[in-house]
């Protein structure tokens, strides 16, 4: 997890130590999604894979329930409805995905982590104690305050 300056690299048990901060439809920034429909105006076809970039940015999104996604070169970013236009592709332990924003449910003095700190899921856990229930996160380029 990447919580805040001074927290350092930490492996988290996703079953009890963090909670997600979802966008509309339960999506998270960084989620990998698949298009369920064609969008000729954006050169998209059903099955194209994209990445959720954050909340929708247009006025229509407030009522329609959409997120902003990036489909890649030549297709750009678009706001897309979450109920019938996209689906999740893959999840990590606990249903989390790389890039998910999460909140710690625990204090961890060894990692300078305080209950309520917000972090980012970086990928699968890297230590044996994480087992199948863990994800890994770290504070890239940051040092712990000793």
Dump pLDDT digits (tens) for 22-77: 788 888 888 888 889 888 888 888 888 888 988 888 887 766 688 999 987 778 88
**Count of alpha carbons within 13 Å of 27, Cβ hemisphere only?**
29
pLDDT digits (tens, 9 = 90+) for 38-51: 888 888 888 888 88
pLDDT of 18 > 80? The answer is no
Give me the mean pLDDT over the 6-18 stretch.
75
8 Å CB contact between 87 and 72 = no
What is the pLDDT at residue 24? 84
Nearest CA among 138, 137, 51 for reference residue 94: 137
Residue whose C-alpha is closest to residue 34's, from 19, 45, 18:
45
Residue with tokens 């980012």: 120
66 close to 80: Cβ distance less than 8 angstroms: yes
* pTM of the complete model beyond 0.75: no
């Amino acid at each position: 997890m990447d919580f805040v300056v001074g927290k350092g690299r930490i492996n988290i048990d996703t079953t009890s130590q963090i909670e997600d901060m979802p966008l509309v439809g339960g999506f998270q920034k960084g989620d990998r999604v698949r298009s369920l429909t064609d969008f000729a105006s954006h050169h998209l076809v059903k099955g194209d894979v994209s990445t959720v970039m954050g909340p929708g940015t247009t006025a229509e999104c407030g009522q329609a329930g959409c997120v902003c996604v990036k489909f890649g070169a030549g297709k750009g970013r678009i706001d897309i409805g979450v109920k019938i236009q996209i689906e999740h592709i893959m999840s990590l332990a606990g249903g989390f995905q790389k890039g998910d924003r999460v909140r710690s449910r625990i204090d961890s003095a060894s990692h300078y982590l305080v209950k309520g700190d917000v972090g980012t899921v970086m990928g699968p856990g890297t230590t044996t104690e994480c087992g199948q229930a863990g994800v890994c996160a770290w504070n890239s380029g940051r040092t712990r305050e000793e």
